[in-house]
A and B are shown apart, each in its own frame.
Chain A
């Protein structure tokens, strides 16, 4: 008797689970997509965090300045791929990396601050 109930319960759970999992899968995929298209670098205490960010091609990376002093985000590669205006506290800068490669950058006001975006 118990076993039957258990099996029934298991079957019910599976059915429910499949339904639920279906919905869940969709929203899971959606949020995963969000995660892939928006990635953040936090600027605080004269540091880019994370210092090295690895993303797939097509990602938009957003830098947000959480420090109490202004900073910039300026790429140091030969073609000067990106260059933000001055970011005061809470200001943001975004750039979409369409091509694979390594993109080192720094803060042009405080050149000791360096970071890197690796696009795969």
Chain B
């Protein structure tokens, strides 16, 4: 970011009251646990612990949820020999949040080898999380051997195709997309024609002011195609969302936090609760990255998302496990 950034609304290019620079500055504060709110055209930040002072969650119509990702239950190599333990630590972190989340999104790679006992273990551990509602999208590790049949049975009964679906919470429209099925040799993640048609139809009648949250496993923007970190046909999906004033895309797969703002869309990837992966191009391959044992929890994490009804920006806050 170049130049000095003030709090006031500076560049309202889209005439939607969102100052990109101010938003990015606030996102940078996010590591300290800040809630960024647009009020009267001015970006203000509040520490999450001050939320009760702001007039109560219900009164403000606030929505709070958590994204976790890449638990890889069943992984047991040196990068993390105890992925169940670190997932439990993530649950403790979630249960300790100042603003209790209403539900959770899991952006895939729940299991490591699609084994039933791996899914069972994750279900068991998440039972002790305060937010009991969890919405899942599969990662490529969840649909091995059976074209995703088991995943659908467990987490997506009755859903179309690979399990894409949508739901609404406090006026925010959530869309769970599946981009890990029918992967083609040499390719990236893929949404496919049927799912794209469904998406177009799903958002067609929504008001432009409806905040949209899209969640999918593989990033929907081109993070690093050489390592398969992108989705071939995501541009088409994003075209259907162009009319909306606020779109937040939450992904996993790359086991590190990354974000990008493009027009009205904020892209964000979550850390894993199991093991980190190298930054794009910083290693021979995107495999599990070993760090000293005492540092492991500081490279794993959860993502807390808060939204105040009537505001544009969703505050996306990453916290590490240590």
Contacts and interface: CB of A to CB of B under 8 A. Distances in A.
Nearest to B277: A69
A69 B228 contact: no
A112 B188 CA distance: 7
Interface in A31-84: 45-47, 67-70, 72, 76
Contacts of A85: 145
Contacts of B310: none
B226 interface: yes
B287 A45 contact: yes
Contact of A109 (B77, B79, B144, B285): B144
A45 B113 contact: no
B285 A46 contact: yes
A62 to B, nearest CB: 20
Given A86-B114, A110-B228, A46 B287 contact: yes
Interface in A80-120: 85-86, 88-89, 104-106, 108-112, 114
B284 interface: yes
Nearest to A110: B228
Give the one of B141, B185, B286 with max A CB within 10 A: B185
A104 B183 CA distance: 15
B184 A111 contact: yes
A108 B141 CA distance: 10
Nearest to B228: A112
A70 B183 contact: no
SS class, residues of chain A in contact with chain B: loop
Give the one of B79, B145, B285 with max A CB within 10 A: B285
Contacts of A110: 140, 228
A86 B113 contact: yes
Interface string B109-150: 000111000000000000000000000000011001100000
Interface residues of B, number: 24
SS class, residues of chain B in contact with chain A: loop
Interface string B161-193: 000000000000000000000011111100000
Contacts of B112: 70
Contact of B141 (A46, A104, A109): A109
Contacts of B286: 46
B145 A86 contact: yes
Given A111-B187, A114-B185, A68 B145 contact: no
Contacts of A109: 140-141, 144, 183
Nearest to A105: B185
Contacts of B186: 106, 111-112, 114
Contact of B288 (A68, A86, A105, A106): A68
A69 B141 CA distance: 10
B29 interface: no
Contact of A111 (B77, B113, B185): B185
Interface in B182-232: 183-188, 226-228
A110 B187 CA distance: 9
Contacts of B287: 45-46, 67-69
Contacts of A76: 185
29 contacts: A45-B284, A45-B287, A46-B284, A46-B286, A46-B287, A47-B285, A67-B285, A68-B287, A68-B288, A69-B287, A69-B288, A70-B112, A70-B141, A70-B144, A86-B113, A86-B145, A88-B113, A89-B77, A104-B185, A105-B185, A106-B185, A106-B186, A109-B141, A109-B183, A111-B185, A112-B187, A112-B188, A112-B226, A114-B186
Given A88-B113, A111-B183, 5 more contacts: A68-B288, A106-B186, A110-B228, A111-B184, A112-B187
Top 5 nearest A-B pairs (CB, nearest first) are A106-B185, A46-B285, A111-B183, A45-B285, A112-B228
